């Protein structure tokens, strides 16, 4: 075999060894960002799409109790009480109304388990449906108040606010809660019935 042939063989062996070493190194290194598969770097709870709840290791968050949302509405309504008819407080009032609406929506979908324990078990499902329907009525009234404020009709906004407070007070009597969302026996007439609630002003 000539010297030139020996040199070619040696070069080929060196090339094969280099390729093998490179392949071994690539097997042991982490993949580059461009080589990773979609979702490979995501942590638990990060693979949800837009608007989907976090279902990480602990699962979806528990629904907060309805009493928390009722307290939120009560705090906001007290802040609005003395200024709802003041056009100079328009921006502040709109922010407070948004807080009341948020509390109302949260209450409508809140956890009623503890809230309904004062009622007989066979009545709780119907009471829960009634509560949800009445939160829908309240939400509409809150939106009407916001629309009046946006239109610059502070007097109408104040009128709707008074009806909202009347509606709220009756609901508290019917479901046995006070102004802070704490339970109390519902007020009843001489016949033992809860007086009828005020009608939706719309």
Query: What is the rounded CA–CA span in Å between residue 103 and residue 60?
Result: 21
Angle value at C-alpha 161, between 157 and 164, nearest 5 degrees = 140
Domain boundaries, the chain: 66-175
Q: Which CATH class is domain 66-175?
A: mainly alpha
Query: What is the rounded CA–CA span in Å between residue 68 and residue 99?
Result: 13
What average pLDDT does the chain have?
A: 74
Instruction: Express each pLDDT in 140-169 by its tens digit.
Output: 999 999 999 999 999 999 999 999 999 998
Identify the pLDDT of residue 196: 54
Q: How confident is the model at residue 199 (pLDDT cuts 50, 70, 90)?
A: low
Instruction: Express each pLDDT in 66-87 by its tens digit.
Output: 888 888 999 999 999 999 999 9
Token pair of 136, please?
């829908």
Full-model pTM = 0.59
């Amino acid at each position: 075999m000539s010297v030139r042939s020996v040199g070619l063989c040696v070069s080929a062996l060196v090339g094969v060894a280099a390729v093998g070493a490179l392949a071994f190194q690539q097997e042991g290194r982490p993949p580059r960002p461009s080589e990773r598969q979609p979702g490979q770097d995501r942590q638990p709870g990060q693979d949800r799409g837009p608007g989907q709840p976090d279902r990480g290791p602990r699962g979806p968050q528990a629904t907060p109790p309805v009493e928390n949302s009722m307290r939120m509405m009560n705090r906001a309504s007290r802040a609005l009480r003395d200024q709802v008819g003041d056009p100079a407080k328009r921006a502040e009032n709109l922010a407070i109304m948004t807080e009341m609406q948020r509390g109302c929506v949260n209450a409508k979908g809140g956890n009623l388990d503890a809230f309904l324990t004062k009622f007989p078990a066979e009545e709780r499902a119907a009471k829960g449906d009634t509560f949800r329907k009445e939160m829908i009525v309240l939400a509409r009234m809150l939106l009407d108040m916001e629309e009046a404020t946006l239109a610059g009709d502070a007097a109408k906004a104040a009128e709707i606010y008074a009806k909202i407070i009347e509606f709220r007070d009756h609901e508290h009597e019917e479901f046995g809660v006070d102004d802070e969302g704490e339970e109390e026996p519902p007020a009843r007439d001489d016949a033992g019935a809860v007086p009828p609630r005020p009608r939706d002003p719309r």
